[in-house]
Amino acid sequence: MIILDVTVMNVALPRIRDDLGFSATGLSWVMNSYTLVFGGLLLLGGRAGDLLGRRRLLIAGVTLFTVASLAGGFADTPATLVAARIAQGLGAAMAGPSTLALLTTTFTEPRARMRALALFSGMASAGFAIGLIAGGLLTEWLSWRSVLFINVPIGALISVLAMRYIHEPERHPARLDLLGAATGSAGAAALVYGFIRAASDGWRDGYTVGSLVAGSVLLGTFVLVEARTAQPLLPLRLFADRNRAAAYLNFFLGPMAGMSMFFFLTQYLQDVHGYRALSTGFAFLPMALILFGTTRLIPVLLPRFGPKPMAVSGALLMTTGVALLTRLGVDTGYAAGLLPSMLLMGVGMGLAFAPLNVVIMTSVPPADAGAAGGVLQTMQQAGATLGLAILVTVFGAASRDAAAAGAAPDHVLLAGMTDAFTASALIAATAVLVALSFRREHGADGGTEPA
């Protein structure tokens, strides 16, 4: 539900603009307000779950997310909808890390835990594509408001079942690192805002530069605070293990490369091939299905091969899939041109990134599970946001050059997409290099031991 809400609104944006009277620039905040709060507060949400109770924070976060979805569905002004999206982001930041930590502490037997974490990864990864499908279905059959209302029964069911079936794990009484919370959350939010601003206003914009500089300084301060705090918000020992550190880095690089497929192919299918919103969503269904199917094999493959061969082969497949997209043309068909890339990306992402959940979450002590989950989701969110900002900048420069040369609108779009997919392939290739740094080890836990 949390990941799906990142993309489910994309398809509904034109209807929202017409109904509520958003300006062209203001419309972007329907997406950015959620991303900004969600990405900026994940670290705090993860550590708060460790200290205050993960079950409690999960239920509180899901309840807030559900109420905010209901309020957003009834919004009659742009400000009301953006406020509801901010509240959704806060609820998601509370519930997301606690979800991952609860899976880790609930399933104590290694193989059962691996299956649970692999299923979690498959649901989260498939959520991006399913969001496009669900958004298209609900927007075309009902209205854009139903995209928010659908969260209400799901969220209510989660809360009821969580209260009945989920047991609160052992809490670790401690003081919340308030200085770390302030500097870390503000720094992450400033960086996310800077990336968002770069995508819309360019890297030379004063607010872009100021936000990125402020975010970097705040995060530098945050690291110094964490190194000297007895009970840190982010235990730096999480990065002491080589496999875990490499997994975190690839959780940053993977979404950077993968976001290009969703963002640019959606435009390509609609603007060049004339797909409707619903047809565009279903075009991504094969990739979602094969990605989910691949993650179901992780509990079998990971103990046998370890993280290194899977991460390397997955990143290579992902790089190949993105590289093939650089050959798209105006007349490229779906079956011959797009489908092979989508299938390669689906298998590649499943092999490369589903094991990373297991590598990270099975090698941390239970007291740090919430913090570890918060860092994981922060890396994923920041990678997606930064990747989109970089790729949109590359796209804009190439498309402007093509337009200045007198190219037709379709060719202008393709020129920008080709350069963006080239940059995306280079990012994916970097993930291959990081994957090569994994230790070649075997074991039921994916080849890692606690640092």
Q: Quick check: is 369 in a domain?
A: yes
Q: What is the pLDDT of residue 260?
A: 62
For residues 202 and 278, membership in a common domain is answered with: no
Closest CA to 392 of 117, 108, 197, 236: 197
**Which pLDDT score, from 0 to 100, does residue 131 have?**
73
**Mean pLDDT by groups of 10 residues along the chain of 451 residues:** 75 76 69 78 77 86 94 90 92 85 79 78 71 74 83 92 84 70 81 74 84 90 85 77 85 80 76 77 81 78 79 90 87 84 87 78 72 76 76 80 82 85 91 83 45 37
Domain co-membership, 124 together with 136: yes
Q: Please report which residue ranges of 21-77 form alpha helices under DSSP H.
A: 29-52, 54-73
CB 353 within 8 A of CB 120: no
**Closest alpha carbon to 71 in 160, 126, 172, 149:** 149
* Residues 266 and 287 placed together within one structural domain of the fold: yes
Burial of 7 per CB tally in 10 Å (0-12, 13-18, 19+): buried
- Contact between 259 and 388 (Cβ < 8 Å): yes
pLDDT score for 440: 63
Residues 268 and 412: their CA atoms lie apart, in Å, by 11
- Total domain count for the chain? 2
Check whether residue 11 and residue 106 sit in a common domain: yes
- The predicted pLDDT at position 25 comes to 57
Does residue 444 belong to any structural domain of this protein? no
* Cα separation, 306 vs 113, whole angstroms: 16
* Residue 28 sits in the same domain as residue 59: yes
Which residues have C-beta within 8 Å of that of residue 405, sequence separation ≥ 6?
none
Q: How much is the pLDDT for 299? A: 75
Q: Tokens representing 415?
A: 């020129």
Question: Quick one: pLDDT at residue 63?
Answer: 95
Label residues 246-261 b or e (16+ Cβ within 10 Å = b).
bbbbbbbbbbbbbbbb
Considering the domain architecture, whether residues 214 and 315 belong to the same structural domain is answered as no
pLDDT at 87: 94
Residues 184 and 160 reside in one and the same domain: no
93 & 83 share domain: yes
- Report yes or no on 451 lying in a domain: no
Which residue, of 232, 249, 278, is where some domain finishes? 232
* Of 338, 354, 352, the residue nearest 287 (C-alpha): 338
Is position 340 within any domain?
yes
The answer to whether the Cα torsion of 425, 427, 430, 432 is positive or negative is negative
Spell out where 253-364 has E strands. Answer: none
- Same domain, residue pair 162 and 214: no
- Residue 446 inside a domain? The answer is no
- Domain identity same for 384 and 371: yes
Q: Which domain holds residue 142?
A: 4-176+233-435
Q: Give yes or no for a contact between 188 and 219, defined as CB atoms under 8 angstroms apart.
A: yes
Q: Is residue 440 part of a domain?
A: no
For residue 62 the two structure tokens come to 């899901």
Same domain, 283 and 415: yes
263 and 396 co-located in one domain: yes
**Does a structural domain hold residue 290?**
yes
Task: Write the pLDDT tens digit of every residue in 293-332.
Answer: 887 787 778 778 777 888 888 889 999 998 998 888 888 8
Q: How far apart are CA 196 and CA 203, in angstroms?
A: 10
Looking at residue 120, which CATH number applies to its domain?
1.20.1250.20
**Does a structural domain hold residue 442?**
no
Residue 431 · residue 315 · CB < 8 Å: yes
From 214, 232, 250, give the residue that closes a domain. Answer: 232
Which of 232, 254, 276 is the C-terminal boundary of a domain? 232
